[in-house]
Amino acid sequence: MQQSSADTSVTPVCDHLKKIGQWNPLWDDFFNLDPAWTEKFMAMGTTPMSSGVLDAKTWELIAIAVDASCTHLYGPGVRRHIRKALELGATPQEITAVLQAVSVIGIHTMSLAAPILIEESARHQASTT
């Protein structure tokens, strides 16, 4: 991506993510609109990984959970992070455990909707009798 001559933004984090294949092409539009903001956002988002507090395999397992969650559902990221986790020694069983753990996020749909269904069904039943 070429930046205009008026744009003096330096984007080493974004450039690195692109170089190592960790750049999501869906980020291109907001990068093009504001490279400086995108750089700050990516720097913030990659700090947990780059800080060294978590080992690389653990980071990839977390990234799988984030990308596979029902609030995100980003298939290319799930694939990329599973591939990397396997390369780093994760087992299919560990990855399955992560997917099983994150799947409970979707239970909120039932936690919210089931009581409403019961209430509305009772209300409907009462109004038809």
Per-residue pLDDT of the chain (129 residues; tens, 9 = 90+): 444 444 557 999 999 999 988 898 989 999 999 999 999 999 998 888 888 899 999 999 999 999 999 888 889 989 999 999 999 999 999 999 999 999 988 888 788 888 888 999 999 999 998
What pTM did the predictor assign? Answer: 0.72
Mean of pLDDT over the chain: 89
Where does residue 75 rank: exposed (0-12), middle (13-18), buried (19+ CB within 10 A)?
exposed
Q: Where are the domains of the chain?
A: 1-53
pLDDT digits (tens, 9 = 90+) for 102-119: 998 888 878 888 888 899
Rounded distance between C-alpha atoms, residue 32 and residue 3, angstroms: 8
